[in-house]
Chains A and B, each alone.
Chain A
């Protein structure tokens, strides 16, 4: 799985497209995850001029799945009017869901199950279903599901406790097993790896500056589509990037997760709405249809770590695993794209990759995976500046790196993503 083999069918990226990424509860509040996903996919197929009937399947990633229709990929296909025969599934692997969708589609193509697949992901944090306290559900379910008498209503009301327990709780990104909010886990990792606030703010600043430069230069024009949000209003570009931010401004922000902490709204990825979609084909099919593929999916790897220890260190293990499968080293890679859940987490992962002691203890090898030249890392910004619609990020990264390889005449890019549950994900893309 996920290894390169010359005799094998290769899965290639033909193109990718995403919606602008905007802060949750702002411009996209009225668009749900289906609408966002459909907008990205529609724009992708239009831009590449692909006949809908060519699409054989959709693999979609999402984290906040709508309870009534959790197979988001199928709903998007139907909303778009893809042929009913185009099958669809929806996968979740927390923040790595978008990459999961891409690698599943690639696997299906490598195995000869399909030649043309859409893979992507979307999330609308603005439309997360607010969870009712379990007590209310237990009290009222018999009324909703049975044939209640008046006395049952009275009894149900009697079962409710103090009013405080009845207020719907804000959805939190907390680990189920540890109860820890992700920012708290990142904060603990920053302490253990001795990552300073300044180093985090510097990374955040670079993320913003590079994303702003990409936007200003038109580099994103080929991968970001405008989206109509109703009554003729259009959102044309990303809403979170602050090209004008500075170290001074970042330094003034208050810690978000602990009083003495180092993580702030400025060096964490914000809650975001958005979608991204990638068109994958077998290499032969792409050429037969007249496309020039941007990049091939060369390898990928997923791994788990103990969420109670270092929740977000997974990429430090997944990246070397994917590199090994591709038969290349970190030094061979022209680009390294790490999902920026938090600047602290990126810095912990890069420190671990550069540590021989980490390599010996955790990877069973004598030398470090390698140092990452900042000039190669997240060259078009990352999730801190652009935002992080959970399910979309992986597909965004694949698109940006595929375009980067194609445009710059470079050979290799490696992607790394950390995800809730202590998961790490990685993939290697190569130029075709």
Chain B
């Protein structure tokens, strides 16, 4: 599991040697991650530059609430931004771009901040409809991207592409996503990420918690992705900045180790009571996980006929708010040599059990405003040699949550999938070295992710602030080229 280059990358001296000798070794930048539960002000002390746009007030408010110092790219924006930031007593300043060409330094306070590094750049492109307007993306980002700090963030906020838009408008919106994918590769060397936050008309109020998470260290391994916020799912709980899962009950299958264990821990850290499901063989590990987080255990094979009912009995009349279908297996063989048992086992655990358990819970135990979360995989998007069964099952979940989302939206329930890329787990440690190296390096961030990265994404999608995200598959892949 040791990533030698990443370890070398943490050594500043080694980095400078490699740099000075112009060695063709891509030293990945260690990602800044956050330990412990969500903080009230995750951006305390950080500077974020914001462009002008229709969502300026909402963006500034979200940033100020998170503790950031907001810099606007034009003095004309000060009044609007200040009014929004005042709620959290955060001053707003004018950022002059690093080429010194920008507007007047109106606040008089800006000069020292101007040259300094910034944690994030937020471009509001929701009004962009023409090629001329698209140019503003270049004007805003080009002079500043070099000032992005290590593990910094670029977020472009845009409207959804739609075949119903005018062709030129749709082209411009699609261009933004392409630009962000390119930026993600450029800034990945600094451990920084770039993502598109697509906000549907009428869903603006659901944008701030998503922006907040994208700027948080907890989204460290999510890059080059679009996140779409809509008003599809009915309103449920109001967002909370800390302990978002306070008082909720979560069910995690395959919780004994790896991503399942990290997820159970992350959900518990945000206030949920977690019921850990795993097979009887893993009784000891599962109990240990549950005990450490004050959760409980249901020992069951997810494919067993009586498992849905046993889970419902264990949940009791209170029911469940969050269901994480994490249990999964691989039985790799190229298709011609794959046994029917290997096909059946993988589809049985990874897909059939998910559908059966979800159906059973939807009949009553899953509460309104709840969450169905499935573990898909980049393999389900790209297709891997020897994984026809696995790729089928993981692709299936993408379609499953898409359709399920529409069905449960009136109840305020969201259904989403996470597609992890190369994550450093027991499973990936077993992959042959060369393939493993390729898995790590062929990504914008040049490294593998941690189980915590996936767990944090799941905790976010489980939170009330993610009410706008449903039917989606979020890649947590470090910007992997595969399937992109």
Contact = CB atoms under 8 A, between A and B. Distances in A.
B and A form one assembly: yes
Interface of A: 189, 191-194, 306, 308-310, 313, 348, 351-352, 355-358, 360-362
B89 A348 contact: yes
Interface string B390-405: 0000000000000000
Contacts of A360: 87
A351 B83 CA distance: 12
A306 B90 contact: no
Given A357-B83, A361-B61, A361-B65, A192 B40 contact: no
A309 B41 contact: yes
B154 to A, nearest CB: 26
B88 interface: yes
Interface residues of B, number: 13
Interface in B67-111: 83-91
A194 B87 CA distance: 13
A239 B411 CA distance: 67
Given A309-B40, A309-B41, A357 B89 contact: no
Given A306-B40, A361-B65, A352 B84 contact: no
A361 B87 contact: yes
B479 to A, nearest CB: 34
A313 B41 CA distance: 17
Nearest to B109: A194
A358 B87 contact: yes
A348 B88 CA distance: 11
B89 A352 contact: yes
Given A306-B40, A309-B41, A192 B89 contact: yes
A358 B40 CA distance: 17
B87 A362 contact: yes
A355 B84 CA distance: 10
A193 B89 CA distance: 5
A269 to B, nearest CB: 21
B84 A192 contact: no
Contacts of A348: 89
18 contacts: A189-B89, A193-B89, A194-B91, A306-B40, A308-B41, A309-B40, A309-B41, A313-B89, A352-B89, A356-B83, A357-B84, A357-B85, A357-B86, A358-B86, A360-B87, A361-B65, A361-B87, A361-B88
Interface string B119-135: 00000000000000000
B89 to A, nearest CB: 4
A361 B61 CA distance: 9
Nearest to B87: A361
Most buried by A among B84, B86, B88: B86
A187 to B, nearest CB: 13
A192 B90 contact: yes
A285 B321 CA distance: 56
B40 A355 contact: no
Most buried by A among B40, B85, B88: B88
Closest 5 CB pairs of A and B: A361-B87, A192-B89, A357-B87, A357-B86, A358-B87
Contacts of B89: 189, 192-193, 310, 313, 348, 352
A184 B83 CA distance: 26
Contacts of A189: 89
A362 B90 CA distance: 14
A192 B41 contact: no
Nearest to B84: A357
Nearest to A357: B87
Contacts of B90: 192
Nearest to A192: B89
Nearest to B69: A192
A196 to B, nearest CB: 12
Most buried by B among A313, A357, A360, A361: A357
Contacts of A313: 89
Given A192-B91, A194-B91, A361-B61, A355 B41 contact: no
B91 A355 contact: no
Interface string B54-66: 0000000100010
A309 B86 CA distance: 14
A344 to B, nearest CB: 12
A425 to B, nearest CB: 20
Given A309-B40, A357-B87, 10 more contacts: A193-B89, A194-B91, A308-B40, A313-B89, A348-B89, A355-B87, A357-B61, A357-B86, A361-B88, A362-B87
Interface string B367-380: 00000000000000
Contacts of B87: 355, 357-358, 360-362
A310 to B, nearest CB: 6
A63 B409 CA distance: 54
Contacts of A356: 83
Contacts of B65: 361
A306 B40 CA distance: 9
Most buried by A among B84, B85, B87, B91: B87
Nearest to A361: B87
Contacts of B85: 357
Nearest to A316: B89
B177 to A, nearest CB: 32
A191 B93 CA distance: 13
Interface string B159-174: 0000000000000000
B20 to A, nearest CB: 39
Contacts of A355: 86-87
B88 to A, nearest CB: 7
A185 to B, nearest CB: 12
Nearest to B83: A357
A309 B45 CA distance: 12
Contacts of B40: 306, 308-309
A358 B61 CA distance: 10
A313 B88 CA distance: 11
Contacts of B86: 351, 355, 357-358
Nearest to A358: B87
A265 B40 CA distance: 32
Contacts of A351: 86
A316 B254 CA distance: 48
A193 B86 CA distance: 8
A352 B88 CA distance: 9
Contacts of B83: 356-357
Contacts of A309: 40-41
B313 to A, nearest CB: 40
Nearest to B61: A361
Contacts of A192: 89-91
A325 B15 CA distance: 63
B395 to A, nearest CB: 43
Contacts of A362: 87
Contacts of B84: 357
Contacts of B61: 357, 361
A310 B86 CA distance: 13
A306 B87 CA distance: 15
A358 B82 CA distance: 11
